[in-house]
């Protein structure tokens, strides 16, 4: 398994035993790669600084908080479980540019993304990412 890092799959039981902030750590990176890939695909000639400015609109805690609030009703019971675990996790980190509630909701979204990624539920993850793009295009965040 260690030799094929891109195809690692964690079973649901192992993931459920993980600290939600560990899942958020992974989910943050996966979400960032999704956003950057999406932006580069749409704006191949855009300067890197401008891509970065656009990426911030997706990844800041306020935006992630708004996204998950709008998607929450679309989550399965299992997905809601992971979102809530992340949202309710006590972090030693203090948010710089967001209030605590926004930061916690953003952590919940990242935890959910981490769970879906590690358990290789990639179709569902892709579906959520498509919903996020739709929300962005509608000016919802």
pLDDT tens per residue across all 141 residues of the chain = 456 767 777 888 899 999 999 999 999 999 999 999 999 999 999 999 999 999 999 999 999 999 999 999 999 999 999 999 999 999 887 778 889 999 999 999 999 999 999 999 999 999 999 999 999 999 999
Superfamily of the domain at 15-137: Ribonuclease III domain (1.10.1520.10)
Distance CA 32, CA 71 (A): 18
28 is catalytic: yes
Is the backbone of residue 47 left (phi > 0), alpha (psi -120 to 50) or beta?
beta
The owner of tokens 């300067």 is 47
What DSSP string runs through 22-50?
HHHHHHHHHHHHHHHHHHHHH-TTS-HHH
Which position among 28, 45, 99, 123 bears the catalytic label? 28
């Amino acid at each position: 398994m260690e030799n094929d890092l891109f195809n690692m799959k964690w079973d649901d039981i192992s993931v459920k035993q993980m600290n939600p902030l560990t899942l958020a750590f992974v989910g943050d990176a996966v979400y960032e790669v999704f956003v950057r890939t999406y932006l580069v695909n749409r704006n191949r000639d855009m300067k890197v600084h401008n891509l970065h400015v656009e990426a911030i609109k997706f990844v800041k805690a306020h935006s992630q908080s708004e996204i998950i609030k709008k998607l929450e009703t679309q989550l399965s019971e299992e997905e809601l479980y992971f979102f809530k675990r992340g949202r309710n996790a006590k972090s030693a980190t203090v948010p710089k540019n967001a209030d605590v509630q926004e930061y916690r909701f953003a952590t919940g979204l990242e935890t959910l993304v981490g769970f879906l990624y590690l358990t290789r539920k990639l179709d569902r993850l892709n579906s959520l990412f498509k919903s996020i793009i739709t929300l962005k295009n509608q000016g919802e965040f």
